[in-house]
A = this chain, B = another copy of it.
Amino acid sequence: MYSLNVRDHFMIAHSFTGEVFGPAQRLHGATYVVDATFRREALDADGLVVDIGLASQQLSAILATMNYQNLDDHPEFEDQNTTTEFLAHQIHLRLADAIERGKLGPSGKGLAALCVTLHESHVAWASYEADL
C-alpha cells in the first residue's frame, strides 16, 4: 500500500460541554497541525498516489472554512463537542467528499483510504482513518 501525506494548519476557538473536560469547558482555543494521508494500492500513470498540488489546495480550502473562527458559533457543529478526534472525522468527511466530486483529479478516484491527523500540541494528537 502506498501513502502520501500533506500538512497544513488552522487556528480556532471553542469550548466543551461535560464535566470530563474540566477547565476545557471554558472558552479557549487550539492550533491544529493537520496531516492528510492518502492511500492507494497502485500508483497512477504518472507514478503518483495523488496530485499533491490538488491535495494541498483541497485540504487548505477545507481548513479555511474553520480557520480563525469560534467553532462554538459554527452552524455545522451546533450541540457538538468539537474535540480533536471529532474534528479529524469532520475533515475526513469533507476531503472524502471532495475526492468523490473529482476535486483531486481523475486519479483521485482510485484512492483506497484516507487518514486525517490533528496535532494539538507537542504531546497530543488524534486521527480518523477510513476506507474511501
Contacts and interface: CB of A to CB of B under 8 A. Distances in A.
Contacts of A33: 121-122
A61 interface: no
Contact of A31 (B31, B52, B89, B128): B31
Interface of A: 1-9, 11-14, 16, 18, 20-24, 26-33, 43, 46-49, 51-53, 67-70, 80-86, 88-89, 105, 117, 120-130
Contact of A123 (B7, B16, B20): B7
A10 to B, nearest CB: 9
A115 to B, nearest CB: 9
A52 to B, nearest CB: 6
B123 A8 contact: yes
Nearest to A55: B124
Nearest to A70: B27
A70 B20 contact: no
A75 to B, nearest CB: 15
Contacts of A53: 22
Contacts of A48: 20, 81, 83, 85
